[in-house]
């Protein structure tokens, strides 16, 4: 059964100097999305284990660490051990994604597999059951505030169909350019988990924006 739509604000777009206050603004969200970037896999640097620990100390929400880094096989278990509810790594960066997924699950955490825009779902269809979530990037990873790539919607649909055909309960998440004008398209395509950064943190009332996005997606989640 497909769960209700979940909104995960991306704190990449938050005011890092006032982190606790920024986390309070989205306390009614369904989870938090924490980007980790190493300036190698993507041309930007953000976060790290100590930053994640600071986030965890100031929120009761489940935290998903999105690892946009080289060598996730080495580092993903560190984020699981730190207390993240979910750890998402990139298919393009992992040397042994199946083994890594099992290692994260063995630590009692959910595991996500992220796909850049040019990476297809097809090579991973037979191992979808090893993951709790597939993240279809709707921008090139590395920076916030980018425009939604609508041409990713067929990939979202293929991912949802593959999950349904296999009888699995796997979330489909989209990340990048999610806003009031794009979330319905993503939900119609098959997404049920939505990372929203700029749309939430640039809103005057972040909590109201989270709820507005949730309500827009709800009729279309299937």
* Residue 35 annotated among the catalytic residues of the structure: yes
Crossing angle of helices 49-57 and 72-82, rounded to 10°: 20
Catalytic pick among 30, 38, 64, 175: 175
Rounded CA-CA distance 160/189 in Å is 8
Structure tokens at 76: 């993903």
Catalytic entry in 30, 35, 38, 132: 35
Query: Residue 153: helix, strand or coil by DSSP?
Result: helix
Q: Would you state the structure tokens that stand for residue 108, as one six-digit string?
A: 């009692």
Whether 126 sits among the annotated catalytic residues: the reply is: no
* Whole-number Å distance between alpha carbons of 13 and 78: 24
- The catalytic residue positions are 35, 175
């Amino acid at each position: 059964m497909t769960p209700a739509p979940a909104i995960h604000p991306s704190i990449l777009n938050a005011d890092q100097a006032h982190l606790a206050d920024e986390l309070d603004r989205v306390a009614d969200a369904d989870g938090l999305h924490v980007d980790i970037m190493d300036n190698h896999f993507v041309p930007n640097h953000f976060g790290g284990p100590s930053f994640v620990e600071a986030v965890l100390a100031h929120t009761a929400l489940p935290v998903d660490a999105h690892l946009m880094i080289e060598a996730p096989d080495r580092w993903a278990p560190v984020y699981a051990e730190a207390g993240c509810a979910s750890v998402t790594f990139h298919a393009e960066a992992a040397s042994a994604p199946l083994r890594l997924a099992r290692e994260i699950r063995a630590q009692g955490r959910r595991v996500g597999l992220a796909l850049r825009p040019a990476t297809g779902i097809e090579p991973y269809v037979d191992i979808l059951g090893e993951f709790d979530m597939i993240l279809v990037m709707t921008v090139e990873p590395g920076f916030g505030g980018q425009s939604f790539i609508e041409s990713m919607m067929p990939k979202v649909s293929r991912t949802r169909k593959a999950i349904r055909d296999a009888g699995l309960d796997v979330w489909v998440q989209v990340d990048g350019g999610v806003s009031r004008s794009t979330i319905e398209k993503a939900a119609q395509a098959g997404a049920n988990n939505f990372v929203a950064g700029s749309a939430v943190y640039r809103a005057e009332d972040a909590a109201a924006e989270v709820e507005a996005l949730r309500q827009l997606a709800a009729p279309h989640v299937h």
